[in-house]
Amino acid sequence: MARSLSDVASVRVQVKGLQRPTRHLPVHAHGPEWAVRLVLIRHAEPEANIAGVVAGHKGCTGLTARGRAQAEALAVRLRNEAEHFDVLYSSVLPRAVETAEIIAAALDLTPVRKDCDLCELHPGECDGMSWDEQVRRYGPGDTRDPDQPMSPGGESVRSFDLRVRDTLRRLIELHAGESVAVVTHGGFIIVSMLALLDAGGLADERGFVLAPGYTSLTEWDRADDSQTWALRRYNDTGHLFFLP
């Protein structure tokens, strides 16, 4: 069984990666004991993954039965561990909202705050297409210019990267001294990791892969008002161990 990063050690890093590449603005947040605690949760397994469709606002239809079981397992774990959050956010996509509502019910934490800036990369007019059709019409993602949208009306890799960084800064500034849970998407968590690790942008080449699993927990906090963050755990899916 793979060990999560939290099983080994906490990692302290500088927050330079939250600076916008074109403006170099640092993040500043103020809290009485620690600036902010962020727990990023990937949504559970969606129906769109099984159907093989592009899952934006149109293509996302919520969770599979297995996905609901995954979200329930996470909710039970958080309740049993007496986890405390001051606020629970979700993207507006059904797979994230459904996951967040299951967690909220278990922790008696309502309402869920829905925010479109927490969504996965907006796909544009290919939303709801099969992935095969998307590739046929617009080409594979690995050959696309990072400034080119996924399809007309959508986001590019670079514009998505900037949106995530801006959203992180906004959450930190809004919730000084609070514990914040965010049910979001794999791409959002990946950019968050790159930003807080100061490991370049989403469009940059790198010698490692980030692949957060369904309902995984990724936790960061900053213990004071410096620019040093602690990564407490990454891709923690221990609650799924006994699921088929």
Q: Is 78 exposed, middle or buried (0-12, 13-18, 19+ CB in 10 A)?
A: buried
Q: Could you tell me which residues come within 8 angstroms of residue 99 by beta carbon, excluding any fewer than 6 positions away?
A: 41, 43, 44, 63, 67, 71, 74, 90, 183, 215
Cis peptide leading into residue 111 (ω within 30°)? yes
Q: Decide if 120 is catalytic.
A: yes
Q: Decide if 175 is catalytic.
A: no
Pick the catalytic residue from 43, 122, 185, 239. Answer: 43
**Residue 127, SS3 per DSSP:** coil
Structure tokens at 90: 């979700």
Pick the catalytic residue from 101, 120, 125, 178. Answer: 120
User: In terms of residues, how long is the chain?
Assistant: 244
Structure tokens at 76: 């039970």
- Catalytic center residues: 43, 120
